[in-house]
């Protein structure tokens, strides 16, 4: 893989409410930069400027001034592999993609070959692959991929807040009782060398809201919303109430009509655009291989 140097310019016009604050405070609070990002920029020539002149972290700003931070990062040009990427939205800061299943999100030494990361190599223009939220191989649906480190940092700060809301559709075995409610059950990693999670008293607080949309043929279609974001949260909680996600090999049973995946889909996503602050909302319909299971 070849290494390219990527530069991203982040600018902010000082507002009256910021009069007299330090440059480093504006970079953190208003521009969403991490301590590491700002520190790296401030030591480079032209890395941090105020109205075009070099700025120190301790300089105080005035209303109307323009603070510019130039971020530089090394990006890997991952080998591109043929494969469609369903891009729902793209701008200078983010991609919203609709990931199919079963498709791994990221490449690694253990996960080679076809991945979302490999498919997106050309779209990322040499930048590192920076997913904001991740989906399991067997889960389909909406994901956010940041084009640069600053956008990723801002969006990850939104995770598990009302600014970054994720909703899922799932087909589960049976029908939950009551048909609508909240699963409030702590989740911990199971003992031993496993990826499996379990409900356990010493686990982390975990809350999943669910609503039954339809039931037929021994399955129910649920709308699920996360109040927390634990690994495998929906899958663990549905199994915990006796309604495992259909096809879930880890917490339920595999299905021959869902090869390599289970019936969980990231269908709804709302976030605040990291640069403009605009509220963006997206929907991805249930894939055909899931919708056909419910008569």
Instruction: State how far the alpha carbon of 249 is from the alpha carbons of 138, 158, 196, 205, in Å.
Output: 10, 31, 11, 24
Residue with tokens 């990062």: 73
Structure tokens at 91: 């701008």
User: What dihedral angle (degrees, nearest 10) is formed by the CA atoms of 130, 135, 139, 145?
Assistant: -30
Establish whether 202 is a catalytic residue.
Answer: no
Using DSSP bridges, classify how beta strands 264-272 and 187-189 pair: parallel, antiparallel or unpaired. unpaired
Compute the chain's Rg from CA coordinates. Answer: 22
Active-site residue, selected from the candidate residues 18, 93, 136, 248: 136
Residue 7, Cβ density class (10 Å: 0-12 exposed, 13-18 middle, ≥19 buried): exposed
Token pair of 67 as six digits: 């603070």
Query: What is the C-alpha to C-alpha distance for residues 208 and 260, in angstroms, rounded to an integer?
Result: 25
Hey, which residues are catalytic here? 136
């Amino acid at each position: 893989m070849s290494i390219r140097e990527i530069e991203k310019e982040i600018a902010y016009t000082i507002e009256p409410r910021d009069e007299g604050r330090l440059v480093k405070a504006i970079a953190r609070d208003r521009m969403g930069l991490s301590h590491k990002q700002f520190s790296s920029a401030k030591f480079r020539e032209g890395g941090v400027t105020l109205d075009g002149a070099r700025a120190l972290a301790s300089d105080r700003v005035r209303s109307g001034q323009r603070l510019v931070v130039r971020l530089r990062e090394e990006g890997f040009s991952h080998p591109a592999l043929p494969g469609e990427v369903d891009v729902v939205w793209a701008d200078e800061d983010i991609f919203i993609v609709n990931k199919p299943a079963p498709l791994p999100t990221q490449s690694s030494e253990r996960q080679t070959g076809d991945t979302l990361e490999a498919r997106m190599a050309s779209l990322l223009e040499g930048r590192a692959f920076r997913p904001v939220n991740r989906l399991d191989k067997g889960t389909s649906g909406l994901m956010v991929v940041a084009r640069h480190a600053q956008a990723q940092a801002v969006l990850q700060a939104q995770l598990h807040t009302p600014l970054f809301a994720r909703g899922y559709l799932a087909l589960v075995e049976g029908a939950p009782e009551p048909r609508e409610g909240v699963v409030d059950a702590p989740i911990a990693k199971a003992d031993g060398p496993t990826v499996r999670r379990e409900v356990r008293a010493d686990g982390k607080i975990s809350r999943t809201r669910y609503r039954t949309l339809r039931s037929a043929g021994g399955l129910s279609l649920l709308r699920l919303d996360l109040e927390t974001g634990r690994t495998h949260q929906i899958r663990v909680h549905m199994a915990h109430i006796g309604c495992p996600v259909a096809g879930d090999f880890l917490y339920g049973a595999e299905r021959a009509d869902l090869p390599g995946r289970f019936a969980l889909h990231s269908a709804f996503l709302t976030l605040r655009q990291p640069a403009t602050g605009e509220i963006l909302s997206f929907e991805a319909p249930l894939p055909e291989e899931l919708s056909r299971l419910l008569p």
